[in-house]
Amino acid sequence: MGLQMNWQPNLLHQKRKNGPPLGLKNLGNTCYLNSVLQCLTYTPPLANFCLKNQHSSLCDSWSEADRKRDCPFCILEKRIARSLSVNLSLDSPSKIQNCLRIFAEHFRPNRQEDAHEFLRYVIDACHNTCLRLKKLQQQRCKGAESYSNGGGCGETVVKEIFGGALQSQVKCLSCGNESNKTDEIMDISLDLFHSNSLKEAMQKFFQPEVLDGSNKYNCDKCKKLVAARKQMSVLQAPNILVIQLKRFEGIFGGKIDRAIAFEEILVLSSYMCKASQVTCCLKAVKRRLKECKKEDSGNIVDKEKQKNSCGYKDYR
């Protein structure tokens, strides 16, 4: 079953089609939670999946004996579906706040937490839930069709939406021998040191690094320490690329609070691996503005730039 990357207008409430996103109340240090929920809610393929109850319809089909506690994906699905279906301007994410430990055991209500860390825990929890259900179904059906939330073993709808792969290549500058390592990713974290824009940060992340001096490379072919060039590249571009801007300067450093510029279009072609079949990759990536609007008593509502319905841009 392929992803529906574009919004399905028939699934949205009229107020969400024409108006701003549903605001979420601040329940006490829940800015990080609200920001993540807004980003996930306005990710079209995930929203379409949740609005059709495609996870819970399968998850609920199993007996209660197999469900010893609340399912994280079911909780997220209900929250996203509600945000896009109710005729309200403001709502409370109390269910997810009360179930924080289902996503991350060390998270506690009314305590400041990191938004990117919470996002990773939510994505991982939903991905692992899909894998568990796929395995359970395969055991019960004894070789019947695999869980529909994704393709083969290890594949889920979560990985299909956010998953990609980076290649790290080290090339010996003496003999030209290349060593390649592939890492699966769900996001990319970019340092902001000496970068004033997303483009600059991306260029620095993917720029080649020369390994020399005390940091020489042990070449398998030369059988000795040699100078080498290390290069990161995108082997498989995600359908939805999540980018984290690392705004803290080390453990004891301050916060980098300067504005980081970004263009409407992000071109991934120059970062793609030569071995990849993709030459120019057009991807729909969530674009979240750093502007927040305070409404009522401390309630924070993310402002999304309205275009192509619900504020999405195409990133290339």
Regarding predicted confidence, which is higher, 299 or 111?
Answer: 111
- What is the pLDDT at residue 300? 33
pLDDT in tens, 211-256: 999 999 999 999 999 999 999 999 999 999 999 999 887 667 688 8
86 closest CA partner among 10, 22, 17: 22
pLDDT in tens, 108-164: 888 989 999 999 999 999 999 999 988 887 877 764 444 455 555 678 999 999 999
Regarding predicted confidence, which is higher, 19 or 214?
Answer: 214
pLDDT band for 314, please (50, 70, 90 cuts).
very low
What CATH code would you report for 165-285?
Answer: 3.90.70.10
- What is the pLDDT at residue 213? 95
Across 262-283, average pLDDT: 71
pLDDT in tens, 21-40: 899 999 999 999 999 999 99
- pTM beyond 0.75: the answer is yes
Q: Residue ranges per domain, the chain?
A: 1-162+294-310, 165-285
- What is the pLDDT at residue 316? 34
